Amino acid sequence: MTDADFLTSSRVFYDAIAEDYDERFRDALAEMPLERAMIGVFAELVGRGGAVADLGCGPGRVTGHLAALGLDVFGLDLSSSMLEIARRENPDLLFVQGSMLELDVADGSLAGVVSWYSSIHTPVDELPSLFREFLRVLAPGGHLLIGFQVGDEPKRHERPWGHDVTLDFQRRQPDRIAGLLTTAGFEIVSQTVRAAQNEAQVPQAFLIARA
């Protein structure tokens, strides 16, 4: 699959399901204390007022939460439909359309980067380039927070909410992601795995790394 293929398939998928996705998961973060804790730790490490990019922001739930924690945050996503919701729900925040692999952001200009379940559609052979791009935009000492599902095989979502779209959600091993981040030039600060619970049938991983 080429860059254009996986980027296009991701955009088409999320454009189709955006409103249903937002309705289903709008309050999900309120029911996730460990996830909120990890985001809170990240926010403290970045520092109040720090410039942060929420990459693959979807409908902007995490973006809004980061802003409430005092960060100077903007969101980026491929999906125009997701961005429409994000702007509607967070009218005071900036949301832009684009690819995480080619950020229109100056070198070393950010204090933090968040990739909250947004690297899960990136093919494994593209992850080194993705992580180098994260590193490029971070100032020395800046922090990255990345979340993803743990596993070795992807989960295919077919016709969600009756929409005629399909997309694979990649699951990764935390040690493998930590190794790729280290190779890209990051220092691992924290590596946390939450056990599977409720609708999440697999463990969830949260890594914080320093540039």
**198-211: pLDDT as tens digits:** 665 899 999 999 99
Q: What is the pLDDT of residue 3?
A: 47
182 Cβ contact list (under 8 Å, min separation 6): 188
Angle at alpha carbon of residue 121, lines to 93 and 82, rounded to 5°: 30
Band of pLDDT at residue 26, cut at 50, 70 and 90: confident
Write out the two tokens for 87.
């702007």
Region 179-184: mean pLDDT is 98
| Short-list 115, 127, 98, CA closest to 7 | 98
Phi, psi angles (nearest 5°) of residue 50: -65, 140
Q: pLDDT digit string (tens) for 27-86?
A: 888 888 999 999 999 999 999 999 999 999 999 999 999 999 999 999 999 999 999 999
DSSP code of residue 196: P
List helix spans (H) across 2-99. Answer: 3-25, 33-46, 61-68, 80-89
The H or E element containing residue 127 is helix 127-137
- pTM, to two decimals: 0.93
Band of pLDDT at residue 132, cut at 50, 70 and 90: very high
